Every structure is written in C-alpha cells, then in structure tokens.
Structure 1
C-alpha cells in the first residue's frame, strides 16, 4: 500500500510546487493568492494529463489481449498494471486447469463402456462420445444440434421421450441390425437430459442360453422321473409276473442310470467352469490314457464295430488326467453310439508341424449336416433328439470336451460329411506335448 502514500505525496508536491511558482509569478503582478491557486491548479492538471497518458497505455495493453507483460510504469499505474496482469494470469491458469479437467473428463467418458449423449431442453444433441454415435448410427460432428428423435426413430425410444417416462430403460434394436441396445435417460440441469446406451446383445444371448439350459435340464430330468414314477405305481398297484417285474425293474434301472449320467455330466461341467486351469508340468503317458479309453469303447461296442487305436509311442501329455480321459472317452463313446453295426471307428494320435498334438476320432456313421456343426458343442443341442436319447447320450458330452480343450489351451475341431462319417479332433498346444527322447543308438539306426 506504500504506492498510495507516494501518489498522495506526489500530487501534493505538484500542487504545492505549482502554487509556489504561481505565488512567485503573481507577486510581481499583485495577484499573489490567485497566482498560487492558478499554479496549484496547473500542477493538478499536469497530474491528470499524466494519468490520462498512463491510462491510455494500460487500455492499449488490455485491448490487444494482455498477452504480453504489463507496460513498465512507476507508481500508481505501474502497481495497477501489475495487479491486473497478476489477476489475468491467475484467471488464465484457472481456465487452463478447467480445460484440462474437462479434457480428462471427456477422455474418461470416451473410455466408458457405455455410450454417453447430452441433450438440451429441445432434445437436440449437444455432445456424444464415439460409442454412443456407433450405437445409434450417428455422426458425432454432423449430427450435433439435431433433434435426436429425427435421427433415432425406434418407437419405444420416441415414446419414452414423449411421455418423459425415464424410470426404466428401454430396449431398441441396433440400427445396423447387429443386436440389441439398452437406453437410459436421466434428466439434469434446466430441462437437459443425459442419455446412456449399452450393447446388451451378449447379455441377452447369455440370459437366453441360461433359460434354455434350465428348461433343458428340467425336461431331461423330468422325463426319466416320470417313467420311474409310472413304473413304481405299476409295481405298487398291479400284480406282475416275475418276468414282467424284472422287465419293469430293468427299465427303471435304465432311467435311473440316465439321470445319474445327466447329473454326473452337469457336475463335471460345473467343476470345469469353476476350477483353475490344469498345470502344464504334470505329465501323464498317453498310452495309459488310451488303454482306459479303449477298454470303455470295446465294452460299449460289444463287438458290433471295427475298432482301431493308435496312441503313438512314448507320447506324454501335460494336464489333468481325469479331464483328458473324460474328453477322449466322450468323443470315442459318441462315435461308437452313432456308428451303425459293422461300421468303423478309428482313434489315432498325430502331431502338427508346429509341435501341437491331436487325438482324432474318425467314424463311418451317418455324418452331420453342415448347418449343425457350429452348434454341436452347445449344451443339450441335438441333431436328432429322439435318436440321441435312444443311444443314451445326455447332450452334454461335446460341451464337456470343448471346455476341457479350452482349459488345456487347445480346441475341438469338427469335420463331417453326410453319408460319409465324422472326424472329431482334440488339439493340444505344443507346450502340453512331450515326445520320447531317443537314445543315441536308436538315432544312429535311423529310428
């Protein structure tokens, strides 16, 4: 605040100096008082002229945007320019910080998994992120300031905006016909609205699969339960001969086994989905795995098919033995069940050029039409439902094989031609395949 006192002293000095000079000059003419007043007035006028000039410099500096430093001035005007400059620089820093925060906020919205759109009170688009534009089929630059209902014409969406019923989201089809969108609208500010979009195609598909799964499980269990309940009632209420009683008990045992197999497969799937991936350092001989598979296959075939097995020599696999056994057994059992009597089932080991290994199961069954191949690994999917039940399948075998393959880093490959048979291949990555180490003598003989 020292500059205030200096300015007061400067003004008094000019007035006193002017008064003294005016007094001296007026004394010669006999106008001592008037000369002193005139001199003081002239001093004040000179101060005002100086202030006008200084003020013009400050105004000129402000008029060009005040991007440069304030004019170099002393006293009151220097202090005023310096304070204005500090205030302007502070405002600029605040504005820059606000712009950075806004840029960060918009960047965060761009990274959001939801589409975000801002509407004004007239339902015109003020801003939207790229995902919202893609969801609604808009151009985020061209369509700004356009009324959203002129661009998005889904009846449910238009009706929600017109009725201002924002409590529940609405579902609308994707403009490109690729799925389903959920749209939520929330009012804010003075008549403005925040619109959020989310692609729920996968979620709806998962929900549909879950509903189908529950319905299929209920149906698969209810059918044998109904049969068993009917037989129990028959045994209770009707006098049966020994032969009839044995036949009824055999059918009951068959249906109970079917339910047991279904529950076992469901538990296997639940265990596969809920447990960690098998370690890649636990090795098991493929020959041991193959012996167990071969024993089950020959028992299931009972001599009705030509079976051929080739498990290679000294091959070892890294993984969970129970899971791999379940997967290969399912593939071989399916081949035996669906191959007519007298047909051939061949199981062989092979290795790809990249080191990956594969267990292939080839049969001479009726084959599968191409349109069914992509869905074969879905739970309870059957090409021919009645025939699958007759063969004793649960509809979960290939789903189990697919899960086992994925948990071991591999995949299930399916090839089939109607009338010629099918080939199912369980492929395992190179890291889970270990070949036998040949001795030096064996290598020398060209083995």
Structure 2
C-alpha cells in the first residue's frame, strides 16, 4: 500500500474513532462534524471515480484527470499502465501488419478457413489462384467459391497429408495448382496453394529431352548395327562395301554431331558468362555468312546481303558465329529451290545514338505456323520431324543459339507466315555495340573462321 493510501486510510479511521468517541462521551456536535467530514470524503472520492470512469472510456481523446491524495496516485498509475498497454498493442499490431504484408507478397496463396470451412482471410495470390474477391468473399464457404470436384472431395475427405493438383482456367491459359490443407487451432485450417505450371512444363521437357536423346542415338546405332551385320554375313564387292561404309560414316558423324551439340549446350547452360570478349567486325562476319550460304545453297537460291559498315558488336566471335550461322543455314535448308535469302545488319538510332542493332535473316521458305514459334528454341523441338532429319540437323541448333544470345544480352525475334517465309532477327542492346574500327576487332573475324 502506498503512502498516500495509508494517509487517507489513517485519516478515515481517525474520523471514525473521533466520531465514535464523541458519541460515547455525549458530544453530538462532534459526531455531526465527523459525519460531515466523512460525507465530504465520500463525495470527493465519488467525483474522482466519476472522472476516472469518463477518462477510461476515451483516454486518447481526453486529458488525464488530476486529483489529490490517493487519487493523484490512482490517476498516475492508470495513465502509466495505459501508456504501457498502448505501446504493447501498437507493437503487436505493427508485427501483425508486417506479417500480413509478407503474406501478401508471398508467391504462394494463403487462405484461412474457420471450423465451418468459411474463408476468414486470404492473400492476393490466393485470390488470383481461385478467382476470389478479398473483401466480398470473406465468410463465404470455400466449396461455394472453389467449384472444383477434386477440391470438394479433398476437403470433405479430410486426408491432407498429400497435396492436391488442380487444373484451373485463367484469363489467358490453363494452369496447374498444388493445394494442401494444414489443420490448426480449434478445427481451423490453413490452405496453401502454389502455381506449379512451370514445374510441370520443365518436368515434361526433361522427359521429352531424355526420350529424344535416346531416340536420336538409337536410330543411327540401329542403322550401324544393321550395316555391321550385313558386312559380316553377306559377301560384298568393293563398290557395295564402300557404299555401306559411307552410310556407316554418315550415321557415325550424325551421332558425333549430336554429342558435340549436347556438350556445347551443357557448357552454355552451366556457365552464364561468355568467355573473353572482343569487338567483332560485323561487315566481315556478314561476308563470311554470305559465303557459307552460297556454299550450302550450291546455286539453288538467290542470296543477297545488306550491311551497315559503321557499327560493330562486342562478344565472343566463336559463340556468335555458331548462333548466327545456324540461322543462315536453317534458312537455306528450309527454303525451296529458286527461293531467296536476304542477310541484313542494321541499327536503330535515337538522337544520333544507336538504341539497338539487328542481325536479320529473311527467306521465302516454307514458313512456320504461329503455334510452333514459342517452342522453336526447345531442345529437339521440330516443326516437321521427317523434314528436319532429312536436312541433317540435330534439333539443338536453335537451343544453342538461344543460350548464346542470352549470354550476350541479345534476344531472338521470329516472324513467319506459312507458305510465305520467315524473318529471324537477333537484336543486340546498345551496350553491346561499338563504332567501326574499335581496337581488338582486327582478329575477330579470323578467329571465328578458325572456330568454324
């Protein structure tokens, strides 16, 4: 008990004792005086208690009441405890706000369900996954909003140790969700959702890659095995033997090219940074590409070229030659006899400064349907499998080109119309460009020639 309360209690006891003594001794006036003092104390305390109650109803809107004696300490201690309580509440509210902010930016969807499977709260990701409105759909039953038979069965079964994979239709395309529920508290549930569309695609690509590699290697091995058996079991004259050996050499070369491309692709995927770079003399490189196209075409196509001579590019000559020459050779392979192929090196300028430069290969070939274009750079993806194998490709050229261009901060753009031809464009950013004649470019084209 504090000193102020002790003084007030002692004063009250003294008054009571004095009144009792005066009453015993026959002094009613003294008793009356003691009663008046006691009434004054009661009135004072009642008023102070009333001020305390009014202040506690709205402590932030009214100043702390003032009092004397024990009430001064009451008001002080109440104000102090209120400040401490307000500080703790503010700290906890701040922690809760930060926690909710973290959940809102989470790539996973989060939904809180009550004991009746009604939505207590959800973050923006979950709203996007399930098409919910974070305000309107609160307190609604989950199965009324997530109308998926598999989800309804999953929720009702109550076996949540394994996630559920759901296929959903979005505004642009189908996507796949992994959904899992975790019970907690008093029959509440935490629902987590994750978009696994890309994971499924990656897994499908991995399976396709293994299957394609197996198929691509199995075919020439089967052919080689057949030829070996033929040479062992059948008498062949010199002409027949040479013909079989030539075909065996072709199949062996096919496997070697495939393994070489796989090793190149593995190296490019494992190292995001290109080797030591130089400034490449693009006009000289363009001449080389034109000569390669003429040699591959053997006069079957019209091949033209348009080159900007005042702009070169920084990069790895060997890697860029591999990527860009692949685009040129593809144009020759997939353009019918009598068609035309045009090579172009140009740039876009803004305020007399290059914004980007473009290497383009334009052909009048068979063209590519729109649905195939996004998948052209996938490993072993072929628009026409039979025609691609006849052309001698491994199915890895554009995949290698994509990784080379990524290492050079460049992008590949494809425009094509079936039956009319295609335009493949490699766009280099301004940071990769250099004026013609920049030092270190003298041997770039020569190095690329040696690498080829």
Alignment TM-score > 0.5, same fold: yes
1:192 aligns with 2:191: no
Change (3 A) 1:40 1:233: farther
Q: Is the 8 A contact 1:58 1:71 kept in 2?
A: no
Q: CA deviation at 1:44?
A: 6.1
Residue 431 (structure 1) aligned with residue 431 (structure 2): yes
After superposition, residues 187-266 of structure 1 pair within 5 angstroms as 187-266=183-262
Structure 2 distance, partners of 1:145, 1:97, is: 28
Is residue 2:42 matched to residue 1:47? no
Return the match for 1:167 from 148, 161, 167.
161
CA contact (8 A) 1:279 1:318 kept: no
Whichever of the two has the greater Rg, that structure is 1
Q: How far, CA to CA, are the matches of 1:265 and 1:297 in structure 2?
A: 21
Partner Cα distance (1:145, 1:375) in 2: 44
Q: For structure 1, which runs of at least 5 residues remain unmatched after alignment?
A: 24-31, 439-447
**Structure 2 residue aligned with 1:407:** 407
CA distance 1:413–1:142, shift in 2 (3 Å): closer
2:380 is aligned to 380
Distance 2:283 2:366 in 1: 29
The corresponding residue for 2:179 is 183
Equivalent residues in 2 for 1:38-117, closer than 5 Å: 39=30, 43=34, 46-47=37-38, 49-64=40-55, 65=57, 67=59, 68-117=62-111
**How far 1:294 moved relative to its partner?**
4.5
Moved more, 299-308 or 252-261: 299-308
Give yes or no for contact 1:72–1:78 (8 Å, CA) kept in 2. Answer: yes
CA deviation vs aligned residue, 1:113-154 (integer Å, no higher than 9, x gap): 111111111111111112212211111212111111121121
1:185-208 per-residue CA deviation (whole Å, 9 max, x = no partner) reads: 000001110011122222222222
Consecutive unaligned residues of structure 2, counting only runs of 5 or more, are 439-452
Alpha-carbon deviation of 1:52? 4.8
Cα distance between partner residues in 2 of 1:365 and 1:316: 29
C-alpha distance in 2, partners of 1:240/1:46?
A: 138
| 1:311 Cα offset (Å) | 4.8
Output the aligned Cα RMSD: 2.9
CA deviations 1:316-370 (Å, max 9, x no partner) are 3200111110012111211222234454433332233353322222334333344
Q: Return the alpha-carbon distance in structure 2 between the equivalents of residues 413 and 297 of structure 1.
A: 21
Distance change (3 Å), C-alpha of 1:113 and 1:348: closer
The residue number in structure 1 matching 2:152 is 158
How many residue pairs match? The answer is 428
CA change 1:416–1:162 in 2 (3 A) is: closer
In the other structure, the counterpart of 2:4 is: 3
After TM superposition, give the deviation of residue 49 of structure 1 in Å. 4.8
Bigger shift: residues 163-172 or 5-14: 5-14
